[in-house]
Amino acid sequence: MKTGLLSTNEVANMLKVNESTVKRWTDKGSLRCIKTPGGHRKYKMKDVVQFMDTFSYDVTDLLVPAKEQMSKVNVSTDYAILTKDFKTLAELFYNTMLEGNRENTFQYLNLLYANRISQVEMFDNIVFPAFHRVGMKWLSGELRIEQEHLASNTALHAIFKLQDHITKKPKHGGIALCGCLEDEYHEIGITCVNNVLDTNGWTTLYLGPNLPAESFVDAIENYVPNIVCISTTAPKSQKQLLEQCGRLYETTRIIGAKLIVGGSGVSEKLKKKITADFIPTSIASVVSFVNSVVFTSTPKG
């Protein structure tokens, strides 16, 4: 994956100063550089970002969006990260997970996180659009089923591994139960929800995909969570989904928990019929909702 080095002129343009100023900052030691054998200064993007942080530069105001600076094909990964060009970053993620290399896919996500792209931004603006593209290409016949499975499993592994490298908030006592109902095998969405909740101080219990409704009800009664999150991407039967959500909602009411039902399988028509406390449109909206959930101890038994 290309990262590259920046010239003095490129750094000067990014910081909106002249080259002599950049050289002066470098000579003073404020901005690190690499000297080439020919004596030219070259700069790593991470060092420029660190300099901006140190001296309170507003990166988003300083830089022109990457698509206005260079072609989509030649855009630098580092530049796309710095400008939060999510369309380009989603395309890079799509290409990476299709290759099927788990370590490379993890390293890409870790690079994004290390460069101040939050977990929520990553999932909403990079991971989900890439998966939507995979799904559309599979439906159109442009991707074979084994390619779709390889991409999904590669990305899922990377997302799980990334969680070990995320800085997490202290546990606040809330319990979240996350999973997919029976006949739902797409677990990327609920995995992302589970991981973001874990990052934000929730104790998460991950049930995975394809769990019978009866077993889900048992889990709610046994673990007494504060919130229950389920995700659906391709429901086998809308009628079955509605019935199962109704059962879960009744159970959560008894223990005083909140039910969240989301995923791309929840159409506008279904939104009006599903019984739930909240139907999110994004990971960010999930975080906003759960932050409003008030609890002082475990839910009522």
Does the residue 277 lie in any domain? yes
pLDDT at 56: 62
pLDDT at 295: 63
Q: What is the dihedral of CA 247, 249, 251, 255, to 10 degrees?
A: 180
| Residue 183 and residue 234 in one domain | yes
pLDDT at 250: 96
pLDDT at 288: 96
pLDDT along the chain (301 residues), means of 10: 71 83 87 87 84 63 39 56 89 94 92 90 97 93 94 96 94 96 92 97 96 96 97 88 95 96 89 94 96 62 45
How many domains are there within the chain? 3
pLDDT at 57: 58
| Domain end among 163, 189, 206 | 163
Question: 203 with 174: CB under 8 angstroms?
Answer: yes
Which CATH number covers residue 33?
1.10.1660.10
pTM passes above 0.95:
no
pLDDT at 1: 38
Residue tagged 């932050």 (tokens) = 291
Please write down the HEC assignment for all residues of 204-252: EEEEEEEECHHHHHHHHHHHCCCEEEEECCCCCCHHHHHHHHHHHHHHH
pLDDT at 35: 87
Give the contacts of 296 (CB within 8 A, at least 6 positions apart). none
pLDDT at 237: 87
pLDDT at 151: 95
Q: Which domain holds residue 208?
A: 175-290
pLDDT at 76: 63
Residue 32 and residue 50: Cα distance in Å, rounded? 10
Amino acid at 87: K
pLDDT at 61: 40
pLDDT at 80: 83
Walk across the sheet containing 227-231 and list its strands: 203-211, 175-181, 227-231, 258-262
HSE on the CB side for 218, CA within 13 Å?
6
| Residue 53 and residue 112 in one domain | no
Which CATH number covers residue 208?
3.40.50.280
Residue 81 and residue 110: Cα distance in Å, rounded? 12
| Residue 191 and residue 284 in one domain | yes
